[in-house]
Amino acid sequence: MTYPMRILGQQVILRDFRADDVDSAQVVVGDEQVTRSLSFDARSRVETAAMLNGAIERARQVPRTEFYLAVTRPDDDLIGFARLGLDGVQAAKLGYAIRADQWGRGYATDAARTLTDYGFRELRLHRISAAIGPDNVASVALVQRLGFSYEGCIRDHVHTNGAWRDSLLFSILSAEWTSRSTAAGSDPLSVQPAGE
């Protein structure tokens, strides 16, 4: 796996974070409207810088165990993030968030689809899961559109916004993803070195 990496989706590009992404990332993770459904509270600029520095440092580790990537439009405008954290044997946890003024345009779906496809095709994962806040109806619909199955409720899973919150657990297995991708005639994933 090359660092920095760049994965082309249909609408978005997923790429490794850079140090100069702090202000753009702050618009996403500093917005309470966005973080209300995430596993962490809104972050200050200092916290956002620390988050990006950590993501950049972990991206350079060998072996790489986390793919915490900026979601950008083709013009490199950072509009969110997507994360695949390796967890267990051939398994990973999926997460994503999009800037509030960009909701409803299919960016989250494309980012989640692209990163899930990368996980199964390139990382040879067996299982990918997503834990979603019960009130996040849009995210539940998104993973269900991608073929994830509901597994159950994780009680008091995260402490955010001053209270414990349950999460709804969804997952998809490699064979299910391959079957859906083959039926849909999905294009091969395009992974490029970031310099191209």
Those residues whose C-beta lies under 8 Å from the C-beta of residue 57, and which sit 6 or more positions away, are none
Could you tell me the two tokens for 186?
């999905």
For residue 10, the one-letter residue type is Q
Report the pLDDT value the prediction gives residue 190, as an integer from 0 to 100: 58
**Which residue ranges make up each domain of the chain?**
5-190
Cis peptide bond N-terminal to 193, omega within 30:
no
* Contact partners, residue 53, CB within 8 Å, separation at least 6: 19
- d(CA 52, CA 28) in angstroms, rounded, equals 12
DSSP E strand stretches across 99-148: 127-132
* 8 A C-beta contact, residue 68 and residue 170: no
The CATH code of domain 5-190 reads: 3.40.630.30
Q: In what helix (H) or strand (E) does residue 110 lie, and over which residues does it extend?
A: helix 107-121
CA 186, CA 163: separation in Å to the nearest integer? 41
Locate tokens 């991708």: which residue?
Answer: 181
Q: Quote the pLDDT of residue 139.
A: 96
Residue 196: predicted pLDDT:
43
- The predicted pLDDT at position 187 comes to 55
Tens-level pLDDT at each residue, the chain (196 residues): 578 999 999 999 999 999 999 999 999 999 998 988 888 889 999 999 999 999 999 999 999 999 999 999 999 999 999 999 999 999 999 999 999 999 999 999 999 999 999 999 999 999 999 999 999 999 999 999 999 999 999 999 999 888 999 999 999 999 999 988 776 665 545 556 554 4
This model's pTM is above 0.95: no
- Cβ neighbors of 68 (< 8 A, separation 6 or more) are 17, 55, 58, 59, 81, 83, 85
What contacts 162, CB < 8 A, 6 or more positions away? Answer: none
- pLDDT confidence of residue 6: 96
CB 50 within 8 A of CB 76: no
* Residue 95 contacts residue 39 (beta carbons within 8 Å): yes
Torsion of CA 140, 141, 143, 144, to 10 degrees: 110
